[in-house]
Every structure is written in C-alpha cells, then in structure tokens.
Amino acid sequence: MHSGRLIFSQIMDFLPMYEFQKCVRRYRGNCKVQSFSCLDQFLAMAFAQLTYRESLRDIESCLRAMNQRLYHMGIRSPVFKSTLADANENRDWRIYADFAQILIHIARKLYANDDFGVELKETVYALDSTMIDLCLTLFPWARFRKSKGAVKIHALLDLRGPIPAFIQITDGKVHDVNILDEIIPEPAAYYILDRAYLDFERLYLFHLAQAFFVTKAQKGFQCRRLYSRPVDKSTGLQCDQTIVLKSYYPRKMYPEKLRRIRYFDSVSGNKIIFLTNNFILPALTIAQLYKARWQIEIFFKWIKQHLRIKKFYGTSLNAVKTQIWIAISIYVLVAILKKRLNLDMSLYTILQILSVTPFERVPLLQLLAETDSSLFEDKIDNQLQLFDL
C-alpha cells in the first residue's frame, strides 16, 4: 500500500543502493566525510537533472526552500552551494561512472528483446562521439583549439533500446579512431561505424575476434574486385562485390577479403559505399544496418537537449565528469523505470512529468498512468524522441 512518499523518493527506489555503496567503498568516497555523503551528493545532482536546475545556486535555493522534505528525499544533510561544489570537485568521478555501468547492465537486460527496425538476432552497436564546447578561460585543461575548449563523449550504443553499452569522456583532441582500442569486440555482434573509424589494422582485430563491422569507404579508397554477386537494382543496390585491398600498407594491415556494397539513396541522391567483413547477410540488410546508425546521432542530440551536460556546475575535470556520469545514470534510470512500470509513453514525456512533480505525494505508477501524455508531447515536427515505440 502507498504510504504517501515523495515522487522523487519513489524514483530513487529503482536504484540498486547496495551496488552504489559498493562503488563508494571501492574509491573511499566517504572517507573522512562527516556530513553530506556521496549518496547525498548523488541525490542532489539527480534532483538537478530531473528538474533542469541551471546552477549550484539554483540547486541550493530549491532544496533549501523544501528543507523539511530533504529527509524524505533521502538527503540526510543540508545542501549548500559550497558543500556541493567541494563534493563535485573532490569526490572521485569513477564512483558515478561505475554506478552508471551497473545501471546500464540492468537496462540492457530489460531492452534485450526490443526491435530497432532490422530483423536480426545478434546484438548491434553503433559507435560515435559528440563534442561539448567549453569556455577555455573557465576550463583551461580542456584545450581543443587555440581559443576553444571542448570535451568529447564517445558512446557505443546498443540499438535495442537504445542504451549506451560503453561511454568514455575525453578531451576534444582525442581522435575518434583511438576509441576502438578501448572496446573489447563481442563475437557475432555487429559494429556500425562511420568513416572516421576506418582503420584497417584495428578493424582486423575485430575480424579476428569474430565480430562484424559495417562502415563507409573513404574517398580515394583503392581495392581489387575478385567477383560480384547479382543485386536487385530496384532496391537502390548497385553492386555487391568481394574485394581485397590494393594498396600495400592497408593490405598488410587487413590481409583478408572484404565485402563492398554500393547503394544509391534516392532520398538524398547520394551514392554510398559500404565495407563489411560479413558475407552472409543480404546486401540490402547491410544498408539497413548502417541506416540504423542514426539512432546514436539522435541519442546525442536528445541528451544535449534534455540533460544538464552543456552547462556545468563546476570547472574542474572531476566536476565535469561527475556531472556527465550522473546525467547518464538518470537517463538510464528513467529508461529502467519506463520498462519496469510498463509505460507506453516516450522518455521525453516521462521526464517532463517527473520534472514538475518531484515533491508530490501520489503513487508513481498512478501519476504516470493517469496523466494524459498528449498534453506533454511536443508538437514540433523535429522534436527528438527516444523510446517512443
């Protein structure tokens, strides 16, 4: 029976607190801390993400106005701007990175059977990165250009969901292709990559691990055709060839055969050349897999619009990483909530409802089930939606 608990507290019930405390102990997060624990910090930052707070002063003002309800939110200490700033500055960001990975593991199990537009039993990943611009005066450690700062978020997105299976935060100078060194290839899985990740030496390691990749050929790509397969040109396919690399160094780095598929996109009018090490799937399915890669573009644009990762509450690298990882944790937490409550509404709609009701005392399922979601759906045609299946 519902006991009149706050909506915010009911949301946090979906967190595996035992696992969170294990992460805190792993990095000694509460060592020499007399008040305002790592959990208090996480809950205050989670509140900021859910309610779109813009600054530390904003967080402090809102929570102090509801000071008598902090205990019922799970926050055991008063929230002051300076205290939260010190916590973000000094508490190891890996606490929240590890906890986010635990939530991701839970979410991926829940979304394992979801459809992403291509009938395929194997796991399909899309790899890409996005840049977050920073003021070089405030973030001198994030030098990207002569007068510009930036950090990059690299994500490997499981297209069933979509849930990020791997995330890494680097400075803006790190080239995308280097992230392939950080990924452990999963046998029989498919990795959809754009041409920025075309490195034959690294892709050959994926091939040796029995993983499949689909990528685009770069301009000036040289190869030698061994033989061709027939294609139905009415579908947009123009050729399906088995090739070997022609240039000396690329062939030395990737000595095996590759499959080259040329496809004409009638919408954009572009001819696209795909390269893959998979010789079993139909050529049209390979093209459809690459088209599904745009889910990761939508994912990046969505989190930039609806999570607090473009304006930061601190200026150190530790504070920036802490905020990004907690934002990702909240994204995945709401995805878990949606699945476990069997909600038939988009993630955007759920976040909009939760953002204005954290201090309400109604059952969470009742609040979400009885809300007319059409009142929250954005009428703008280009509004980015996730989990709207």
* Whether 120 contacts 40, CB under 8 Å: no
Residue 258 has pLDDT above 90, yes or no: yes
What pLDDT is attached to residue 388?
52
Residue 278: name the closest of 122, 172, 55 by CA: 122
What pLDDT is attached to residue 162?
80
Residue 161 has pLDDT above 90, yes or no: no
- The CA distance from 61 to 54, in Å, is 11
> Which one-letter amino acid corresponds to residue 283?
A
More confident residue, 294 or 146: 294
Question: Does residue 279 belong to any structural domain of this protein?
Answer: no
- The CA distance from 193 to 125, in Å, is 9
Alpha helices in the chain (DSSP H): 7-12, 17-26, 38-50, 56-65, 70-73, 81-90, 94-110, 200-208, 248-253, 283-292, 294-306, 317-340, 347-355, 364-370
Report residue 316 as tokens: 């150190």
337 alpha-carbon distance from chain centroid: 17
Question: Does residue 200 belong to any structural domain of this protein?
Answer: no
Mean pLDDT of all residues belonging to the chain: 91
What pLDDT is attached to residue 196?
92
Residue 86 has pLDDT above 70, yes or no: yes
Q: Using only C-alpha atoms, what is the Rg of the chain?
A: 23
Residue 3 has pLDDT above 80, yes or no: no
Q: Which of the four pLDDT bands, split at 50, 70 and 90, describes residue 372?
A: low
DSSP code of residue 197: G
pLDDT digits (tens, 9 = 90+) for 217-227: 988 889 999 99
Residue 375 has pLDDT above 60, yes or no: no
Question: Does residue 256 belong to any structural domain of this protein?
Answer: no
Question: Does residue 268 belong to any structural domain of this protein?
Answer: no
What pLDDT is attached to residue 386?
55
Question: Does residue 244 belong to any structural domain of this protein?
Answer: no
Question: Does residue 258 belong to any structural domain of this protein?
Answer: no
Tokens 């944790």 found at: 329
pLDDT digits (tens, 9 = 90+) for 121-153: 899 999 999 999 999 999 999 988 888 899 999
Sign, Cα dihedral of 161, 166, 169, 173: negative
Report residue 262 as tokens: 């040329």
DSSP string for 128-154: EEEEEEE-TTT-GGGEEETTEEEEEEE
Domain tally, the chain: 1
pLDDT digits (tens, 9 = 90+) for 194-217: 999 999 999 999 999 999 999 999
Question: Does residue 45 belong to any structural domain of this protein?
Answer: yes
- Length in residues, the chain: 389
Domain of residue 344 covers 7-93+315-375
What pLDDT is attached to residue 370?
78
Count Cβ atoms below 10 Å from residue 182 Cβ, excluding itself: 11
Classify 375 in phi/psi space as left (phi over 0), alpha (psi -120 to 50) or beta. Answer: alpha
Residue 355 has pLDDT above 50, yes or no: yes
Question: Does residue 79 belong to any structural domain of this protein?
Answer: yes
